[in-house]
Structure 1
Amino acid sequence: MQAFGLYTHIRANRIRSGFLIVGLFLLVYVMVFAGALLAEALTGDAPLDVLLRMALNDLIAAAPWATAGALVWLFIAYHFNRALIAATVGAHPVTRQQEPKLYTLLENLCIARGLAMPRLYIVESPVLNAFATGLNDKQYSVTVTRGLLEALDDAEMEAVLAHELTHIRNGDVRLMVIAGVVAGIVSFVGEFVFRGLTRMSFGAPRRRYSTEGRRGGSGGGAFAAVLIALALVAVAWLLSQVIRFALSRSREYLADAGAVELTKNPDAMIAALLKIDGRGELPSAPSSVMEMCIDNPRSGFTDLFATHPSIAARVDRLVQYAGGRLPAPTPAPTTPQGPWDPPSDAGQPGPWGPHPASS
């Protein structure tokens, strides 16, 4: 679904979040069915339709357990997503007393926007980046790196904080967290299936079933069943990983625009993006966290698979549509001449002969 404008973007995010939750259970059931089909094919031989029917019976029997496991995963993600992400990147919470200037900047922006004050975290890293996370007003948090604090001035830091608050307001943060949960649980189930297969005894005598599913009779469908099961596992895993590619990259343009609307300072947003460009790689952060950041250097094979527009494209939008201006280039430093330095025209001919060099 394409999103045109702010309110359609927010509504589209809510719809996508619901679809992702439904898709989570569907992908889990596909993975369980694929695992059951592999188990039936590797422990017994029968026509393909018999193996498929037996795997479907296994799925029906295992569906309550698979549903319970997915619900437990969602429960853990819902209540502990902020703590888990903070532990992954090494972030720690800070208070007004510890970071008074940063805390005040964020608080003033929340008051102006009418948002609840999120928790503030800092990652002790020299890289330049920031992100927001959470699923509701009680969980939202904004995380910045120490390098960002040291590199940006107050106006630029205010613009970055406003960018992250706009992601919270627009529902981008909730959607990205849910997408990460979907990818995580499907990857876990897929790994569980493959680990179970590696522990199976492939040298054990294989059972043979008739077309009615009884022992004896001709088989021949095991190889096709294995191929189908492996294809299902691969497709489910790939879908869980590429879900983020379906998430609109317009969210970054809208967050930049929201920051300008809130701060009334497009130049600060441009300056902050230019400083962050190419300096935002968090080595300890998984891809699901980097996709939440203000800049994600992990663009994939081509720009088609990038989760963020390029910094140059975002700056260009701010210049064209928000009245922003590119910062003036810094002049090259010049070396002043001292009284002991020879003049620049030393040794050059003049009307009364060459200029003398300083001794």
Structure 2
Amino acid sequence: MTISTATTDFVAAQRVNRRNTFLLLAILTLLAASIGYLVGWFLGADDRGPRLLSHGGVIGAALMASASIGWSLVSLAVSDKMVLGMASAKDIDKADAPQLFNVVEEMSIAAGVPMPRVMVLETDALNAFATGASVQRGTIVVTRGLLNTLSRDELQGVVAHEMAHIANLDTRYMVMVGVTVGLIALVCDMALRTLNWGGSAHNRSSSGNKKDSGGAAILIILLLVIAILAPLAAKAVQFAVSRQREYLADATSVQFTRNPNGLISALQKLADKAAPFPGVSHATQHLFIVNPVQDFTKDTPALLATHPDIEDRIARLRNLGS
């Protein structure tokens, strides 16, 4: 069965997806800078009490924004090597899996991107993922179980999904989002630890002035609330981006293959056999076509779900072009 894409503007969807990702990155970086400002504001407060414009806060915001951008750039340079090393992925030759290489070559032509590196994970579990900071550095990894189980059409649907992640630059953006979220969580944890000793110090320094003490107390409460809620909000944003990118990669897979049935059938098999395996962790679970660590349903809280419900993904694929 072929499918018409007349009712689905993939190019526009990809353009909106990239724009929204840049916006989210900007928001996360602003959040990180705001937390840095509050921490610097808190640490820089003296016996005169906290002031709205804080020299320490400006320094903290600048440090956080710089760290977010710098850490992201460094991560982009080494993230693919780290992920492949953690997963214990192995290079294979075309002679080892001629059908896989043939499918990858077809989908790279359909996507208009260079032929990616092809690797295999030696596990019976069914799964796959893509990585790479650019389309020129793309890598597609599939498990041995997936190679031994899926038909050619099913394999093509999975490879096209992973090729979509490379073509849409999902692999780059998710690294940057993940780094920023991790930085926010790290600094908020440090802020909470700082409150254990910083709060008592401020109370002692301002014990003779009720007005100053009240201002310091308000600042401590504000910092405490943000330090607790900011990492949760940032993680929710990260997972929301991940879920939307899975939907778009599914749709783009159909754009490349013109056949939704292959990916639909593959997802049904993956849902039954996407078990955990050595090398996968909570740090890499969001990269896979289906989460190998835990199952998600429509009732799963958004904060915990890295992937959409598979039944929902299948329903959307069936509705494409209808």
Query: Could you state the TM-score of these two structures normalised by the residue count of structure 1?
Result: 0.72
Q: Which moved more, 1:17-26 or 1:252-261?
A: 252-261
Equivalent residue letter for 1:267: N
Distance across 2 between alignment mates of 1:129 and 1:303: 21
1:237-287, Cα deviation, whole Å (9 max, x unpaired) = 122111135438454444334333433443322221111014324465455
Contact 2:32 2:64 in 1 (8 A): yes
Q: Which moved more, 1:235-244 or 1:99-108?
A: 99-108
Distance across 2 between alignment mates of 1:61 and 1:176: 28
1:310-359, Cα deviation, whole Å (9 max, x unpaired) = 32233334445469xxxxxxxxxxxxxxxxxxxxxxxxxxxxxxxxxxxx
Q: Residues 272 and 322 of structure 1: is their aligned pair in 2 closer, same or farther, counting only changes over 3 Å?
A: farther
Q: Which residue in the other structure is 1:276 paired with? A: 270
Q: Does 1:23 align with 2:27?
A: yes
Contact 2:34 2:61 in 1 (8 A): no
Q: Which residue in the other structure is 2:3 paired with? A: none
Contact 1:122 1:143 in 2 (8 A): yes
Equivalent residue letter for 1:289: T
Q: Which residue in the other structure is 2:257 paired with? A: 263
Structure 2: which 5+ runs fail to align?
Answer: 1-7
1:184-210, Cα deviation, whole Å (9 max, x unpaired) = 221222233344555769589922288
- Give the alignment partner of residue 143 of structure 1, picking from 141, 157, 178: 141
Other structure's SS at 2:140 match = strand
Q: Residues 272 and 303 of structure 1: is their aligned pair in 2 closer, same or farther, counting only changes over 3 Å?
A: same
| Bigger CA radius of gyration | 1
Contact 1:132 1:142 in 2 (8 A): yes
Q: Residues 123 and 198 of structure 1: is their aligned pair in 2 closer, same or farther, counting only changes over 3 Å?
A: farther
Note the C-alpha offset of 1:58. 0.8
Q: Which moved more, 1:276-285 or 1:110-119?
A: 276-285
Other structure's SS at 2:114 match = coil
Contact 1:13 1:171 in 2 (8 A): no
* 1:180-329 equivalent positions in 2, closer than 5 A: 180-197=178-195, 202=200, 206-208=204-206, 219-247=213-241, 249=243, 251-282=245-276, 285-287=280-282, 289-296=284-291, 297-299=294-296, 302-303=299-300, 305=302, 306-321=305-320
Equivalent residue letter for 1:19: L
Query: Could you state the TM-score of these two structures normalised by the residue count of structure 2?
Result: 0.80
Equivalent residue letter for 1:315: I
**Between Structure 1 and Structure 2, which shows a larger proportion of helix residues?**
2
Q: Which residue in the other structure is 1:119 paired with? A: 117
Distance across 1 between alignment mates of 2:297 and 2:258: 34
1:40-59, Cα deviation, whole Å (9 max, x unpaired) = 67xx666xxx32447x3211
Structure 1: which 5+ runs fail to align?
Answer: 324-359
Q: Residues 91 and 199 of structure 1: is their aligned pair in 2 closer, same or farther, counting only changes over 3 Å?
A: farther
Q: Residues 210 and 138 of structure 1: is their aligned pair in 2 closer, same or farther, counting only changes over 3 Å?
A: farther
How many residue pairs align between the two structures? 310
- Give the alignment partner of residue 89 of structure 2, picking from 63, 88, 91: 91
